[in-house]
Amino acid sequence: MNNSSNQNNSQPKINAEIESLDQEGRGVAHVEGKTIFIDGALPGEIVTYISTRKKSSYEFAHVDQIIKASNLRTTPKCKHFGQCGGCSIQHLEFSGQVAAKQRMLESNLKHIGKVKAEAILPPLYGPAWGYRHKARLRVKYVEKKQRVLVGFNEKATRFVADIQSCDVLVPSVSKLIMPLQELIIKLSLRDRIPQIEVAVGEHAIVLVLRIMDPLAPADEPLLRAFADEYQVQIWTQSKGPDTVMPFYPLDGAALSYSLPEYNLTYPFKPTEFTQVNPHINKVMLRRAMQLLKPNADERIADFFCGLGNFTLPIARSGAKVFGFEGSAALVSRAVESASLNDLHSEVSFSEADLFKITPESLNMLGYFDKWLIDPPRDGAMELVKALPEDHNMIPKAIVYVSCNPATLARDAGILVNEKGYVLKAAGVINMFPHTSHVESIALFELAS
pLDDT in tens, 82-125: 899 999 999 999 999 999 999 999 999 999 999 999 999 999 99
Q: State the Cα–Cα distance between residues 431 and 126, nearest whole angstrom.
A: 8
Q: Look up residue 255 and give its amino acid.
A: L
Q: Please pick, among 18, 187, 319, 403, the residue that the annotation labels catalytic.
A: 403
Is 305 annotated as ligand-binding? no
Sign of the Cα torsion 392, 359, 374, 98 reads negative
CB burial string 160-187: b at 16+ within 10 A, e below: bbbbebbbbbbeebbebbeebbebbeeb
pLDDT at 448: 79
DSSP string of 204-236? -EEEEEE-SSPPPTTHHHHHHHHHHHHT-EEEE
pLDDT in tens, 216-272: 999 999 999 999 999 999 999 999 989 999 999 999 999 999 999 999 999 999 999
Residue 138, strand partner residues = 151, 195
Sign of the Cα torsion 303, 430, 126, 292 reads negative
pLDDT in tens, 364-409: 999 999 999 999 999 999 999 999 988 889 999 999 999 999 999 9
pLDDT at 11: 61
Is 191 annotated as ligand-binding? no
Residue ranges of domains in the chain, CATH in brackets: 5-73 (2.40.50.140), 99-127+258-446 (3.40.50.150), 134-200+205-248 (2.40.50.1070)
What are the CA-CA distances from residue 367 to residues 153, 374, 394 (Å)? 46, 19, 7
Is 108 annotated as ligand-binding? no
pLDDT at 155: 86
User: For the chain, what is the largest distance between any 2 Cα atoms, rounded to a whole number of angstroms?
Assistant: 72
User: Omega before 278 cis (within 30°)?
Assistant: no
pLDDT at 13: 80
- Average pLDDT estimate for 311-339: 96
Model pTM? 0.93
Confidence class for position 307, pLDDT limits 50, 70, 90: very high
| Contact assessment for residue 200 and residue 170, using Cβ atoms and an 8 Å cutoff | yes
Q: Say whether 403 is catalytic.
A: yes
pLDDT in tens, 67-94: 999 999 999 999 999 899 999 999 999 9
- Average pLDDT estimate for 136-160: 94
Is 444 annotated as ligand-binding? no
Confidence class for position 331, pLDDT limits 50, 70, 90: very high
H or E stretch at 282: helix 278-292
